[in-house]
Amino acid sequence: MSKTQENTVAVQFKWSRMIQLCSFQLGSAMGDILVTSIWNRFMISGLGIPAWPVGLLIALRYLLSPLSLWAGHRSDTTKFLGFYRTSYIWFGRGMIVFSFPFLSLSLARLSADQSDIWGWGAAIVCFLLYGTGTLLSGSPFLALVRDSAPKAQQGLAISIAETALIIFFVITGITMSLWLRDGYDLVIFHQMVYFAMIVGGLFWLVGIWGVENNSISPKLRDTMQKTKKEINFRETFNLIWADNRTRRFFIFLSLATLAAWMQDVILEPFGAEVLDRPMAETTRFNSYWQTATVIFLVGVSVWGRKRPPEQQRYVAEWGLAIMGIGMALLAAESFAGGVRLVEIALLVFGAGFGIYTFGGLSLMAVMSSDRNAGAYLGLWTISILIFKGLGNFLGSLLRDIFLGINLSGAAAYGITFAIAAIGLFASVFILHRLDVVGFALDTGRVIDVTETQVVGVEL
């Protein structure tokens, strides 16, 4: 066996390793539901605090998103405590575990006094730690998932891990809604915080234990680091941004993400304040649309797995249009009141989200040249993270502005949902005018159906 062959020994796809990596996502789902669903509902609807500061705190981690590019590059090039990926992941997730007590402290103090400076200070510390920890560990984790699979199946591995996260969102959301069936209770919230620290932390620990050592060739990794350190990132970025099609795709991706996530922070308060639904029901709102997302994502993946990604633009457009219809139905429910469209609206929105996710991931792969794939994907990741955060904040801010000019709650939420729907439809228009195939040809991509076929899995 030659040195080259020795350095590139194929990693086998193992379902046991994939299940282990997917278990890591259970802790991620628990933390996200606790922070971005339950805490914000307590703050806005339970304590009557304006939505915009809550949305701004939740959006803080997305505004720090350039950290993800830095962390990913560091995990590519620099060992930390003897590992390229594992130590960065555990360090980041440790920060998240340490942030949870501050979340509990903030709610306890603000429940007693909404203007308590120490309560708001605890919330800021929590979200700084939570956001930084998420960003420091997120990119290295996805890189570890990618590293743990053969080259032909790396996309499959990432898709499985991301689908597992959505499934755990659904399971966690339903479980916590049952825990909160009696409504707002500070003692129960404290119990949830301790549970997330212990159980979530355990899954973050064992979910990646031994994966890096057992799935990655050290010699190949050392060769990769030497090559990557020679890349001039500034020149590469300037070259990427000079292409009008790249800029247009960035605008499309940013607008679609912004509009899709405007509902996130205000969805549960909408259920409480306009629909008068109890907390046990509103906590399940996210589970409705995320369940539909999983079902349609899997279904469309099976249907479209043999189609080349260059042909998935229309799939993404249809997904966005369906999402827009779902958001418009939410607006109609808010304006009409009592029609009980919310479950249908969320299922329609989730179905569109699943379809768009498959098409959008395919387009991100196409709109990345082989030579500079990491830089392109880093740019798309930053776009998604920043504009997801801005969407969280904008939805909250618009809701507060409309309430501030003495509109009814129904009108405030309805107009906000309608603006989100318009944004989703506008993103379809932008994507439709993008020359995806031309970009692929110009960057040397071979348009061949065999590139995207799913190969057999070695058990």
- What are the pLDDT digits (tens) for 69-119? 677 667 766 777 777 788 888 888 899 989 888 988 888 888 888 778 898
Q: For the domain 231-459, what is the CATH code? A: 1.20.1250.20
Q: What is the pLDDT of residues 304-347, one digit of tens each?
A: 666 666 677 888 999 999 999 999 999 998 888 666 788 899 99
Please state the domain extents for the chain: 10-230, 231-459
Beta bridge partners of 80: 83
Give the model's pLDDT for residue 455.
Answer: 29
Dihedral of CA atoms 116, 121, 124, 129 in degrees, nearest 10, equals -140
Contact assessment for residue 75 and residue 140, using Cβ atoms and an 8 Å cutoff: yes
Amino acid at 159: S
Q: Give 20 or 302, the one with higher predicted confidence.
A: 20
**What's the gap between Cα 393 and its chain centre?**
16
Q: How far is CA 370 from CA 225, 441, 444, 445, 455, in A?
A: 17, 12, 8, 8, 20
Contact assessment for residue 449 and residue 362, using Cβ atoms and an 8 Å cutoff: no
Segment 154-158 mean pLDDT: 62
Same fold, 10-230 and 231-459: yes
Smallest CA-to-CA distance from 423 within 220, 214, 262, 281 is with: 262
Q: Quick count: other Cβ atoms within 10 Å of Cβ 115?
A: 8
Segment 355-367 mean pLDDT: 79
DSSP string, 107-127: HHHHHH-TT-HHHHHHHHHHH
* Average pLDDT over the chain, rounded to an integer: 77
Give the model's pLDDT for residue 216.
Answer: 58
- Would you place residue 152 in the very low, low, confident or very high pLDDT band (cuts 50, 70, 90)? low
- Would you place residue 453 in the very low, low, confident or very high pLDDT band (cuts 50, 70, 90)? very low
Rounded-to-5 percentages of helix, strand, coil across the chain:
80, 0, 20
Q: How many whole angstroms separate alpha carbon 108 and alpha carbon 130?
A: 18
**The token pair that represents 214 in the structure block:** 């057992």
Compute the radius of gyration of the chain from its Cα atoms: 22
Give the model's pLDDT for residue 9.
Answer: 45
Contact assessment for residue 383 and residue 354, using Cβ atoms and an 8 Å cutoff: no
Q: Best-predicted range by mean pLDDT among 128-137, 197-206, 210-219, 412-421?
A: 412-421
Helix (H/G/I), strand (E/B), else coil: 41: helix
Q: Best-predicted range by mean pLDDT among 23-37, 301-315, 346-360, 366-380?
A: 346-360
Contact assessment for residue 135 and residue 94, using Cβ atoms and an 8 Å cutoff: no
Smallest CA-to-CA distance from 297 within 280, 279, 322 is with: 322
Q: Best-predicted range by mean pLDDT among 203-212, 256-265, 305-314?
A: 256-265
Q: Quick count: other Cβ atoms within 10 Å of Cβ 427?
A: 27
- Would you place residue 289 in the very low, low, confident or very high pLDDT band (cuts 50, 70, 90)? confident
> Looking at the whole model, is its pTM more than 0.75?
no
Helix (H), strand (E) at residue 208:
none
Q: How many whole angstroms separate alpha carbon 288 and alpha carbon 331?
A: 17
Segment 412-429 mean pLDDT: 94
Q: How many whole angstroms separate alpha carbon 162 and alpha carbon 152?
A: 18
Smallest CA-to-CA distance from 34 within 251, 190, 238, 218 is with: 190
pLDDT(22) > 70: yes
Q: How far is CA 254 from CA 31, 229, 261, in A?
A: 25, 29, 11
**The token pair that represents 204 in the structure block:** 């973050």
pLDDT(454) > 60: no
Buried b vs exposed e over 138-154: b needs ≥16 C-beta within 10 Å? Answer: bbbbbbbbbbbbeeebb
Q: What is the pLDDT of residues 31-67, one digit of tens each?
A: 888 887 778 777 877 777 777 787 778 777 777 777 7
DSSP string, 360-415: HHHHHHHTS-STTHHHHHHHHHHHHHHHHHHHHHHHHHHHHHHHHTT--HHHHHHH
Smallest CA-to-CA distance from 334 within 266, 272, 275 is with: 275
Give the model's pLDDT for residue 417.
Answer: 94
We find that the CATH architecture of domain 10-230 is Up-down Bundle (1.20)
- Above pLDDT 70, what percent of the chain? 77
pLDDT(428) > 90: yes
Which range among 138-142, 212-216, 267-271 shows the weakest confidence by mean pLDDT? 212-216
- Above pLDDT 90, what percent of the chain? 13
**The token pair that represents 140 in the structure block:** 């290295």
- Would you place residue 459 in the very low, low, confident or very high pLDDT band (cuts 50, 70, 90)? very low
pLDDT(449) > 80: no
Q: Give 132 or 65, the one with higher predicted confidence.
A: 132
User: What values do phi and psi take at 119, rounded to 5?
Assistant: -65, -45
Q: Which residues, including other chains, have CB under 8 Å from residue 416's CB and lie 6 or more apart?
A: 262, 266, 395, 398, 399, 402
Give the model's pLDDT for residue 143.
Answer: 74
Segment 209-225 mean pLDDT: 60
DSSP string, 4-32: HHHHTPPPPP-HHHHHHHHHHHHHHHHHH
pLDDT(377) > 70: no
